[in-house]
Amino acid sequence: MSNTVHDSALGKSVIGSAVYDPALLFPIPRASGRDALGLASPLAFHGVDIWNAYELSWLNTRGKPCVAMAEFRVPASTPNLIESKSFKLYLNSLNAMRYADFETVQRLLSSDLSKAAGGDVAVVLSELEASPTTTIQSLDGCSIDRLDIDIENYGPPRAGLLGAAVDVKPVEESLVSNLLKSNCPVTGQPDWASVQIRYVGAPIDRAGLLRYLVSYRNHDDFHEQCVERIFRDIHEQCQPEQLTVSARYTRRGGLDINPWRSNVAGLVVGNPRLARQ
C-alpha cells in the first residue's frame, strides 16, 4: 500500500495559541552550551543575536489587520537564548489580538522577549509602506568557497583542521563562506548560513578553515552556539589578536537568526540582508 501525504508528518497541527500567550516562548540557558564548550566566565567575546521577522501581524482597535517587519537584538550577555519555533508560535499568538498602535506592540514584544532572555531585548518594528527598499548585499571579504580541495569530514566539527602561519607577518582580512550548514537540535531541520571571519593576526590557512566550516554539515546545535564554537576554535587554534565571527542564517518560518561574536571592544555589527534571506 502506497503512502499519501496524509501519512507523513507534513501538515500536522502544532500546539500554538489563538490568543496572545507569552508563555509560548521557550528560553534555553546559554550556560549549558557554553559549559560544554569550556567557555570560562567572563567570556572572551561580546555580541548580539539579530533576529528578523517577516511574518508579524495583529489587529487594530477596529479589527483591521496590521502587518510589520521586526528586528530583534538579543545581547549575547543575556542568560538565555530563545528557541526559534517557540518564538514563531509566540509571534503568531498576536494574530487575533487588538492593539492601539505600533508602539504598543513594540513595547509588548520587548517586554516579553526581555523576560524570556533575562535581559534587555531591543525591538524595532517597520511598516512595509514606510520601509526603504532593502538592498540585497554580500558579506565583505574574500570568499574561500572556490578553493579546489578535497573534503572528507562532515561532522563532528574538528578544530584541529584550523591553523595559521605564525611565522608570517600579521594581516588584517575578512574571509567569507556560504557553505556553513548545521542541523537544528530540536527539529532536525537543516540550517544554512553564510559566515564571515574578520581578524587581525597570523594568516589563517584558508583550506583548513573551509574544511573546518564544512565539518559542521552533520552537526546538531543552535545557531548561536555554532557561532560561539567557531569563535572559540579559531581563537584557540589561530590565536588572532582581534576576531569577529558573524553568521547570517537563511529564513525559516518567517524568521532568520544572525549571531555575531567579537573580542573587538565597542564593535557594532550591522544587519545586511543577503541573497538567501
Catalytic residues: 184, 191
Residues 6+ apart with CB under 8 A from 109: 70, 72, 123, 125
DSSP-derived 3-state class of residue 23: helix
Residue whose grid cell is 546538531: 220
- Please name the residue ranges forming H helices in 66-215: 84-92, 102-117, 206-214
Which strand ranges, in their side-by-side order, compose the sheet holding 122-126?
Answer: 122-126, 65-75, 46-59, 255-262, 242-249, 190-201, 171-183, 142-143
* Percentages (nearest 5) of helix, strand, coil residues in the chain: 25, 30, 45
Alpha carbon distances (Å) from 131 to 19, 41, 108, 126, 135: 28, 40, 21, 6, 12
